[in-house]
Amino acid sequence: MRSTAKVVNFDRVLKHAERPHLERAVALPFVKWAGGKRSLIPSLAPHFPDEIDTYWEPFVGGGAVFFTFANRIKRAYLSDTNEDLTTTYQMVKAKVEKLIDRLQEHERKHRERRGKTYADGKTYYQRVRASEPTDPLEVAARFIYLNKTCFNGLYRVNKSGQFNVPEGSYPNPDICNADRLRQASKTLAKATIRLGDFDRAVSPGEGDFIYCDPPYDGCFSGYQADGFKGDSQTRLRDAGNRWKAMGATIVLCNADTDAMRKLYADDYAIHNAKAPRSINSKGDARGAVAELIITNG
C-alpha cells in the first residue's frame, strides 16, 4: 500500500513554495542558488511547450526551471561548470538514500557542536569547509551541508578554488530535507547530468528545446574562480545562433541592459520580465530587477 504520510508532507511543501507561481512544480531545488529562477516561472511558462522531447539546460544552477517543468519533458541534459554542483546532482539522482544518511550525520554533528569549537579552534562548519573529499558521495554531502549552513546559501571560492563563504547564523538549518531529495531524485531519472561549459555541453537536434540562464550581464559572476567573463555573453549568443541553425528552440534569460538588447537585436524576440531577487553579490540586497526573456520562437 502507498504511504500517504510522505505524499501529504511533500504536497504541503509544494503548496507553500509555489505561492508566487501559476505552475505546479514537480519537485523543488535541493540547494539555494544565486540567480534561482523560481520567481520568473510565471513569465517563462508561456514560452515552454506543453511537451518537450529533448530539453537542454546548460546553466542548471539550482534547477528551479527544470524541476518546475519536468512533467512536460521527456528527456533532459542538464549541465553546469560547477563540478561540486554537478557531482551533487549525480549523487541525488543515483544514490539518494546514501546521501540522505550522510546528510543526517552532518545534521546531527552540526547540532551537537553548536556554539562549540574543537581543540584547533574550528567549528564543525569550518572543519567541513576545510575538508577536501574526493569520494563523490562525500563531495555531495559536504556541498549540500555547506549550502544549507553558509551565509545566505552563497557559493564563492577563492583564487585556488577553495569555498570561502562564512557560516550563516541559522538556529535550525534544514540540512537534510529527505522528502525533497527523494522527489528530486525521482525527477532526475529522466536527466543526464554533465560538467562543462555551455558551448561544449549542448549539441541539439532538430526540434530540441534549450533553456539558458547564464550569469547575468553586469551582475554577480562569482560562482567559480574563473567566473563568466570577457566575451562569454557574445560567445553564448553565437552558440545560440548555431543551435538555432540546427533547428532548436531557445529561451534565454538575462538582465535588461543595453548590451543584451543590442546583442540579441537581430533574429530574436525580446520580452520584458520583472522578478524579485533574494540573493546577489552583497547577499542582502532585495527587490525587483528588470530582466529579459529572449526567444527565437
What distance in Å separates the CA atoms of residue 213 and residue 35, rounded to the nearest whole number?
A: 9
d(CA 98, CA 143): 15
Vertex 179: Cα angle to 174 and 183 (nearest 5): 125
Q: How far is the CB of 239 from ligand SAM (least distance, A)?
A: 10
Closest contact distance (angstroms) between CB of 58 and ligand SAM is 5
Nearest distance from C-beta of residue 89 to ligand SAM, angstroms: 11
Query: What are residue 63's phi and psi, to 5 degrees?
Result: 75, 20
Q: Which of residues 24-63 bind ligand SAM (CB under 6 A)?
A: 33, 35-37, 58-59, 61-62
Q: Helix (H, G, I), strand (E, B), or coil: what is residue 274?
A: strand
Q: Is 185 one of the binding residues for ligand SAM (CB under 6 A)?
A: no
Please state whether beta strands 209-212 and 249-255 pair in parallel, antiparallel, or not at all (unpaired).
Answer: parallel
Q: Backbone phi, then psi, for 127, in 5-degree steps?
A: -65, -45
Question: Within a 13 Å sphere around the CA of 165, how many CA atoms are in the beta-carbon half?
Answer: 23
233 forms part of the interface with ligand SAM (CB under 6 A): no
Which residue number, 58 or 240, has a Cβ lying nearer to ligand SAM? 58
Q: How many residues bind ligand SAM (CB under 6 A)?
A: 21
> Do residues 242 and 235 make contact, with C-beta atoms less than 8 angstroms apart?
no
Quote the strand ranges of 122-220, DSSP E.
191-195, 209-212
Window of 10-18, 79-87, 176-184, 277-285 that interacts with ligand SAM by CB under 6 A: 79-87
Tell which one of 228, 243, 264, 268 touches ligand SAM (CB under 6 A): 228
| One residue of 153, 173, 204, 215 binding ligand SAM per CB under 6 A | 215
Q: Smaller CB distance to ligand SAM: residue 115 or 230?
A: 230
Please report whether residue 153 would count as binding ligand SAM according to CB under 6 A: no
Question: Could you give phi then psi for residue 268, rounded to 5 degrees?
Answer: -130, 155
SS3 call for 11: helix
Query: Cβ 214 to ligand SAM, closest distance in Å?
Result: 6
Amino acid 61 reads: G
214 is written with which cell numbers? 547564464
Q: Is 209 in the site for ligand SAM (CB under 6 A)?
A: no
Q: Which residues bind ligand SAM (CB under 6 A)?
A: 33, 35-37, 58-59, 61-62, 64-65, 80-82, 197-198, 213-215, 223-224, 228
